[in-house]
Structure 1
């Protein structure tokens, strides 16, 4: 199953949250959040498999680093996968330059 790509827009609601978002030196990192589509930096053949049924999981979401203060390693993203048969989930950190 492939989910259509749905871009997520960061909308911090407090002053502290507004200060946490973004990078001083990078305009791309912190903007790569979305549901569905294809994950940056991972080919479909490398998607994880479900521990229960052994089938390849569906890419569900990509969550980017937040900003300088909450950076994931070196601007990594979290890729989230789900098995729609067993409702198991897996996530992994991936370095991507997209």
Structure 2
């Protein structure tokens, strides 16, 4: 199953939130957030399997780091997967080339 891709755009509600968005030396990192679709630079055969039923999980979201202050190991992204049968969730940190 593939969920339709939905782009997410950060919208901080406070000055403190606005102050931590973005990177000094990278225009791409911090902009790669979305729900559904296909994860960037990850093949479907590499999706995790559910630990309960062993079925391949469905890609659910890609979350990019917020900015320099909250960077994830040199701009890694969080990929989240779900098993809709067992309602198990798994998240992974993955390094993208961009």
Matched, 1:64 2:76: no
Report what 1:19 is aligned to: 19
Paired with 1:67 and 1:85, the residues of 2 have a C-alpha distance of 35
Aligned match of 1:88: 88
Alignment of 1:6-45 (within 5 A): 6-45=6-45
Matched residue SS, 1:91 = strand
RMSD across aligned positions (CA): 0.6
Structure 2: gaps of 5 or more residues:
none
Q: Deviations over 1:8-55 (max 9, x none)?
A: 011011011001100011110000000000001210000000000000
Distance 2:74 2:3 in 1: 28
Q: TM-score, structure 2 length as denominator?
A: 0.98
Measured after TM superposition, the shift of residue 78 of structure 1 is: 0.1
Aligned length: 98
